[in-house]
Structure 1
Amino acid sequence: MNCLKIAFIGLFFMVFLNTNAQDKKFKIHTVAFYNLENLFDTINDTSKLDEYSPMMELKTDKGPVYKKKIRNMARVIADIGKDVSENSPSIIGVCEVENKAVLEDLVNDSLLVDKDYGIVHYNSTDVRGIDVALLYQKKAFTPISTSSHELKIYNADTNKRVYTREQLLVSGKLEDETIHLIVNHWPSRRGGEAKSRPKRVAAAKLSKHLLDSLQMIDPYAKVFIMGDLNDNPNNASVKKILKAKPSKKLGLKGIYNPYINFYKNGIGTTAYRDAWSLFDQIMITKPLLEKDYSSFQFYKAGIYNKNYIITKNGAYKGYPLRSFGYHGFNNGFSDHFPVYIYLIKEVP
């Protein structure tokens, strides 16, 4: 059911654009987010706990496995949005990467190298060294400013600092228009959803602070908040702190979350114990929802779940075909499906 719904949505994109092509022409860009599921190299970094990554836990053949993991990630990225834009994403946020070196290997894979992706990356204080980053096609997007923002949270039992992923803020020009992107990987649900909830609420407050800072300078700022939030669209972090809405009828500084309706329809990006979650989301601000397509505006949102990245059989049939499992490398992709949105602009 989920796959059929999303396939239909993808078909609708094509019909809409084609039927309007006789009257109007549009430029189109895909903006995406993808959890790359432990994209770690094979080198033990003694400054962090990377030895607990699935890649480092493999006893043999790390080199070939790493190369295959890179190729699999490149294949998915090359395909996201291609059905409509005839291009890979102009901008894609990623998480669960170990360092800049793995990203350089990724963008230099033969499936992506001709896209000439640039990289924005900062090393995080996360205990395992898991980072977020932004990849962008240099011909489409030019960063103007970048910054990394610490999330300071503490263990409720010990009051000790919990070192987790920073939030990445990138401002730049999509062609000639200024946009801002906040890339997230919020704290996990380890220890239980309720017990870990305050950590994600704190993460949402940090994202909201970054958004408020941007909107204080420019109330009409075009802002994207994206990431693996480890919360669904109806959880307090998204619903009460960010106040993200399913309707495009917003105040000037409001946030639109197209993934609320996906979630209501039972569609998710990751599965656990026969239940789907929609942790991966892209939210946008009101100025991206105008009907004047003389500038880039939101068109549609989607979840990329093509058949080849879905588990075909067994206990996890229908789940994302992940890279790593209980028996080592699965020759899969990720335990999350990517999410994406299309931006369109009328060509005079």
Structure 2
Amino acid sequence: MTDTFEDIPIRHNMQTIAFYNLENLFDLNNNKHTNDNDFLPTSVKKWTSKRYNNKLRKLGFAISNIGRKETGKHPAIVGLCEVENAKVIEDLLASKYLESHNYSYVHYDSLDERGIDVALLYDVNMFEVSNSETFTISLIDDDGLPDYTRDILLVYGLLDGEKVHVIVNHWSSRREGEKETEFKRMASSNKVGEIITALRLENDNAKIIVIGDFNDDPHSNSIKQLVNGFNLFNPMETLRSFTRGTTKHNRQWNLFDQVLISTNFFKTSDNFFEYYTANIFDEDFLKLFNGKFKGSPFRTYIGKRYQGGYSDHFPVYVVLKK
């Protein structure tokens, strides 16, 4: 891994807000409350401390460089998903490329059936947390029983002195089919709408950033409903193409990972943050460099076969500027 981002001047008037699906960041311990049997030293995947620490180091390197080309520094705020618990976040923050940064985190355990949660990393020198809470999505499965998915995390605080609200998401997957599972993502979309409405009742000029792995693309109903119904801007709409996305399935790119912002990030004032740019962080070191899947995300595993990569998703980010 080369430090290709080191000689960029730090821009103190800019901050990066990022999101990264870490692809099954499980620790080595067997937890009877989570579905972690694949990720144990004794499992078929042989999830050993060497492999775990390799993944932590690589993820830390990736995170520390998101937005660096624009800002000259690591991101102020990073939403995460697919973390098993607080321990894996602490291990990540203690890893080689993150230990020198002043990151702290917000995390709550959710009732998700896979035992994975969302979380928020933040640099305490750039972002001061005022409050946080989680919102559960009420879903019912085909048998009429509760169907548990990841909670939505709301964190608000002061980004370089300006109040912002960050909503972190990891919506239900398409595993049983896109149409068959759409109602689950619409339920999450509705919940995000409720959160935004409540925030605006308190402050009609609330600055809101919605980040996550939505398991839907920018043109999907669940995302369009938020953009059109709640006065949001989705910079990811123009980034998806046949050759670019954040995750690849059946040789097709999807842009499931997105950052949406309230349109008041376009009001210009010297004292407040405004939208500067957004992108997919798909640097070459995060990609497979040969073979038939060349250019796809360099994953930790393909099935049960260990690859030693980063994640099956690329991170996404938005840069704000004062």
1:234 aligns with 2:219: yes
Q: Deviations over 1:218-269 (max 9, x none)?
A: 1111100000000001011011x21359xxxxxxx51000001112575311
1:223 maps to 2:208: yes
Mapped to 2, the partners of 1:266 and 1:291 lie a distance apart of 34
Change (3 A) 1:55 1:165: farther
Q: Which amino acid is the alignment partner of residue 69 of structure 1?
A: K
Identity %: 37
Partner of 1:32: 18
Check if 1:191 corresponds to 2:168. no
Partner of 1:74: 60
Partner in structure 1 of residue 286 of structure 2: 309
- Alignment of 1:243 onto 2:227: yes
- AA aligned to 2:287 is I
Distance 1:313 1:333 in 2: 16
Match of 1:208 in 2: 193
Deviation of 1:54 after TM superposition, in Å, equals 8.0
**Further displaced range: 227-236 or 83-92:** 83-92
Task: Name the CA distance, whole Å, in 1 between partners of 2:18 and 2:319.
Answer: 9
Specify the SS of the correspondent of 1:299.
strand
Say which SS state the counterpart of residue 213 (structure 1) adopts.
Answer: helix
Matches within 5 A, 1:1-348: 27-53=13-39, 57-58=43-44, 60=46, 62-155=48-141, 157-239=142-224, 241-244=225-228, 254-263=231-240, 267-345=244-322
Q: Which amino acid aligns with 2:292?
A: A
Maintained 8 Å contact 1:119/1:133: yes
Question: Which whole-Å CA distance do the structure 2 matches of 1:36 and 1:56 have between them?
Answer: 22
Find the counterpart in structure 2 of residue 3 from structure 1.
none
Give distance in 2, aligned partners of 1:103 and 1:244: 34
Cα distance between partner residues in 2 of 1:168 and 1:126? 13
- State the Cα deviation string for residues 64-96 of structure 1 (Å, max 9, x = none): 111111111101001111112111110000000
Query: What is the rounded CA distance, in whole Å, between the counterparts of 1:231 and 1:64 in structure 2?
Result: 34
* Native 8 Å contact 2:241 2:253 kept in 1: no
TM-score normalised by structure 1 residue count: 0.86
3-state SS of the aligned residue for 2:96? Answer: coil
| 5+ long unaligned stretches in structure 1 | 1-9, 19-24, 246-252
Number of aligned residue pairs: give it: 316
Q: Once superposed, what is the RMSD of the aligned Cα atoms?
A: 2.1
Q: Secondary structure at the match of 2:175?
A: coil
Query: How far is 1:48 from its partner?
Result: 2.0
One-letter amino acid of the structure 1 residue matched with residue 153 of structure 2? L
Structure that is richer in helix per residue = 1
- 1:152–1:163 CA contact under 8 A, matched in 2: yes
Once the two structures are TM-superposed, the CA of residue 110 in structure 1 deviates from its matched residue by: 2.3
Q: 1:48 to 1:327 in 2, by over 3 A?
A: closer
For normalisation by structure 2, the TM-score amounts to 0.93
Gaps of 5+ in 2: none
**Matches of 2:249 and 2:146, distance apart in 1:** 28
Superposed CA offset, 1:265-294 (max 9, x none): 753111111110000000000111112232
8 Å contact kept, 1:172–1:180: yes
Cα distance in 2 for residues equivalent to 1:59 and 1:169: 34
Task: Give, as a single letter, the amino acid of the residue that structure 1 aligns with 2:84.
Answer: E
